[in-house]
A and B are shown apart, each in its own frame.
Chain A
Amino acid sequence: MKIGKEEVLHIAKLARINLDESEIETFSRQLSNILENFEILDKVDTGNVPPTTQPNPQYTIIKEDKVQPSLERKDVLANAPGKEGEFFKILPVMEK
């Protein structure tokens, strides 16, 4: 499977990663090479095989719906790049 530059840009957009010119070139080559190594899976017969999402599934944990102390607001906001009062501060999402 060949991943061209166009496709790299499309994936980067979906992944919300900006790339510079040299990265586009490198990822095109490397991702193509990695995908080539995935072709081994085409040879595995999985006709009636169900998928596994996690190993050792045992039961569903049910927790009591009880109010518990949450993290301290000031501790959480201490890591925020932008804040104002009790809130995270971000650039406008919608135009005026």
Chain B
Amino acid sequence: MTEINTLTVLQAHQLLKTRKVSSVELTRAFIDRIEKIDPLILAMVTQTPDTALKQADEADRRIAGGDIQPLTGIPVIIKDLICTKGIRTTCSSRMLENFVPPYDATVVERLKAGGMVLLGKSNMDEFAMGSSNENSAFFTTRNPWDLSRVPGGSSGGSAASVAAGEALYSIGTDTGGSIRMPASFCNIVGLKPTYGRVSRYGAVAYASSLDQIGPLTRDVSDAALVLSAIAGFDDKDSTSSINEVPEYIQGLNGDIRGLKIGVPKEYFVTGMQPDVKIVIEAAIKKLEELGAIVDTDVSLPSTPAALAVYYILGPCEASANLARYDGVRYGYSFKNSQNIVEVTEKSRQYGFGPEVKRRVMLGTYALSAGYYDAYYLKAQKVRTLICNEFSRAFEKYDVLVAPTSPGVPFKIGEKIDDPVSMYLTDVCTLPVNIAGIPAVSVPGGFSQGLPVGLQIMARPFDEQTLLNVAYAYEQATQYYKKLAPLAVDQPGNGSNKPG
């Protein structure tokens, strides 16, 4: 029998449904697992074992009454930027270290209605600004594949927790690659849905025109299940879509014969690690073998400008969104001030970490008198060009494929002192958020024993085709079955078998 902590959501669901395991048993196994393994991984900011066991007990009673949905009784870890009523939500920031939300995010509400079991909240780069988890104000999460390396960011704790067998799935957010990049670094599946597919209500805002919530899972079927559970219109988010939400898992057949796949050459950037390129080229060949029609001569010429567009628009939106942290209504507040302005200025000095200050200042500058047209407006216009190029490409191709990241997980400390080299790690994922299209990172292979993610991009609201291509690749290669050394059964590793 498969180890309980490396089950997929679907497998666990079958065990719950056939009463081979109860949600309480499942939950206890994960609580034990977290207790033993998290001191090494440092994926969790807050653990909620009591809440989890109470919810598991409720789920068991529901299941006993014949009411079981795909996620009923399934333990999950949620990124600490998504509001959970009564459970502190810190954004891994000193600013919100003691913030207890008085309400649930819509995503949390939906998961609760489906019988969620919440194990806790995962670590991240502060306010989702970063690509390595090193910007957490608390500690840096480790990559379960190599503890000296970063798990990626900003949803690094979410990705590492799933890869280390601390939860069956997790929820993250993706503003410029923050789900896909850590998924790639940890050899799991990370799905960034179309902008508007999932309600953002209750997700602490970083850059509102780019942010999107999505699942991090062990395999593609699980991503499909979770997306169906969290997607859909919400009148609390005026950008959420009224488009119907399919049962995505029903559409996974792995048949991609005749499907048209484009490979945009700009994604094979200078500075890309040669080994990663080899893995991605092999992946593209595999898709061809599976019957897809691949065109490797596709150009999206504005791609090199995407980095600048993102690092103008993201910080501009952040500078407005983060203006709410003023030391008055909630969050860190500097004491012993003489006046109200000093309260705000010093609360922000000590409450925000260096990257948050950097982006707020960058955005403030780009929006300030005399620079607005040159930076903000110019970036919005180039954004239009990037959107148009994707639209034209999708007239010809069903999906586009590329690497998720130009390199394998890097060492902790390697890039932290050079913001620009850190920003460059997002170069393959940013254009997707700029255009608002859906994309997924699926385990693509290995380079020097470290995971490489294959990124697949699709038309807006065509998550079905996106997931089916990912599913075809996953089933043909089975790379997702290779687990991080820390996730597999070793004496003292804290693995558990169902009772």
Partners in one complex: yes
Contacts of B319 in A (CB 8 A): 15
A-B contact pairs, 18 of them (CB 8 A): A3-B365, A16-B345, A38-B311, A38-B375, A41-B309, A46-B381, A49-B381, A50-B381, A51-B377, A54-B195, A55-B437, A60-B238, A61-B235, A71-B103, A79-B99, A79-B329, A82-B328, A90-B328
Contacts of A46 in B (CB 8 A): 378, 381-382, 384-385
**B440 located at the interface, meaning its Cβ lies under 8 Å from any Cβ of chain A in the complex:** no
Partner of A16, one of B302, B344, B382: B344
Nearest residue in A to B339 (C-beta to C-beta)? Answer: A91
**B434 located at the interface, meaning its Cβ lies under 8 Å from any Cβ of chain A in the complex:** yes
Cβ proximity bits B443-475 to A, threshold 8 Å, 1 near / 0 not: 000000000000000001000000000000000
Closest 10 CB pairs of A and B: A55-B436, A51-B380, A81-B333, A75-B102, A79-B330, A46-B381, A18-B349, A18-B345, A61-B238, A15-B364
B381 and A51 form a contact (CB under 8 A): yes
Of B311, B338, B361, B377, chain A has the most CB atoms within 10 Å of the CB of: B361
A41 to B381 alpha-carbon distance, docked (Å): 10
Partner of B380, one of A40, A52, A71: A52
Please report B residues at the A interface, Cβ cutoff 8 Å: 98-100, 102-103, 194-196, 209, 235, 238-239, 241-242, 302, 304-305, 307-309, 311-312, 319, 323, 326-333, 337-346, 348-349, 352, 354, 357-358, 360-362, 364-365, 368, 375, 377-385, 387, 419-420, 423, 434-437, 460
B340 and A91 form a contact (CB under 8 A): yes
Chain A min CB distance to B401 (Å): 20
Chain B min CB distance to A39 (Å): 8
Chain A min CB distance to B198 (Å): 13
Chain B min CB distance to A55 (Å): 2
Contacts of B348 in A (CB 8 A): 15-18
Chain A min CB distance to B94 (Å): 13
A56 to B461 alpha-carbon distance, docked (Å): 10
Contacts of B419 in A (CB 8 A): 30, 33-34
Chain B min CB distance to A68 (Å): 10
**A78 located at the interface, meaning its Cβ lies under 8 Å from any Cβ of chain B in the complex:** yes
Contacts of B339 in A (CB 8 A): 91-92
A63 to B235 alpha-carbon distance, docked (Å): 8
Contacts of B349 in A (CB 8 A): 17-20
A34 to B103 alpha-carbon distance, docked (Å): 38
B307 and A78 form a contact (CB under 8 A): no
A44 and B345 form a contact (CB under 8 A): no
Nearest residue in A to B235 (C-beta to C-beta)? Answer: A63
Known: A12-B361, A19-B349, A56-B460. A40 touches B304 (CB 8 A): yes
Contacts of B241 in A (CB 8 A): 56, 58
**A23 located at the interface, meaning its Cβ lies under 8 Å from any Cβ of chain B in the complex:** yes
A33 to B385 alpha-carbon distance, docked (Å): 25
Chain B min CB distance to A35 (Å): 8
A54 and B436 form a contact (CB under 8 A): yes
Known: A41-B378, A51-B380, A54-B209. A79 touches B100 (CB 8 A): yes
A40 and B328 form a contact (CB under 8 A): no
Known: A17-B345, A56-B196, A81-B327. A44 touches B420 (CB 8 A): no
Contacts of B381 in A (CB 8 A): 46, 49-52
Contacts of A8 in B (CB 8 A): 361
Chain A min CB distance to B322 (Å): 9
Known: A50-B384, A54-B195. A91 touches B329 (CB 8 A): no
Contacts of A26 in B (CB 8 A): 354
Partner of B362, one of A34, A41, A44: A34
Q: How many residues of A contact B (CB 8 A)?
A: 51
A72 and B337 form a contact (CB under 8 A): no
A71 to B332 alpha-carbon distance, docked (Å): 21
B378 and A55 form a contact (CB under 8 A): no
**A93 located at the interface, meaning its Cβ lies under 8 Å from any Cβ of chain B in the complex:** yes
Partner of A38, one of B102, B312, B344: B312
Chain A min CB distance to B193 (Å): 11
Chain B min CB distance to A67 (Å): 15
A92 to B361 alpha-carbon distance, docked (Å): 27
A56 to B352 alpha-carbon distance, docked (Å): 32
A64 to B428 alpha-carbon distance, docked (Å): 41
A87 to B134 alpha-carbon distance, docked (Å): 38
Contacts of B242 in A (CB 8 A): 58
A41 and B305 form a contact (CB under 8 A): yes
A7 to B307 alpha-carbon distance, docked (Å): 24
A11 and B329 form a contact (CB under 8 A): no
Known: A53-B209, A71-B102. A17 touches B357 (CB 8 A): yes
Nearest residue in B to A45 (C-beta to C-beta)? Answer: B385
Chain A min CB distance to B325 (Å): 9
A78 to B101 alpha-carbon distance, docked (Å): 10
A3 to B371 alpha-carbon distance, docked (Å): 13
A56 and B436 form a contact (CB under 8 A): yes
A23 to B354 alpha-carbon distance, docked (Å): 9
B196 and A90 form a contact (CB under 8 A): no
Known: A33-B420, A88-B329, A93-B340. A14 touches B368 (CB 8 A): yes
Known: A11-B368, A16-B344, A81-B328. A91 touches B337 (CB 8 A): yes
Chain B min CB distance to A72 (Å): 6
Q: A14-B368, A31-B362, A79-B330 are in contact. List 4 more A-B contacts (CB 8 A).
A: A41-B312, A53-B209, A55-B435, A79-B100
Contacts of A55 in B (CB 8 A): 195, 209, 387, 434-437, 460
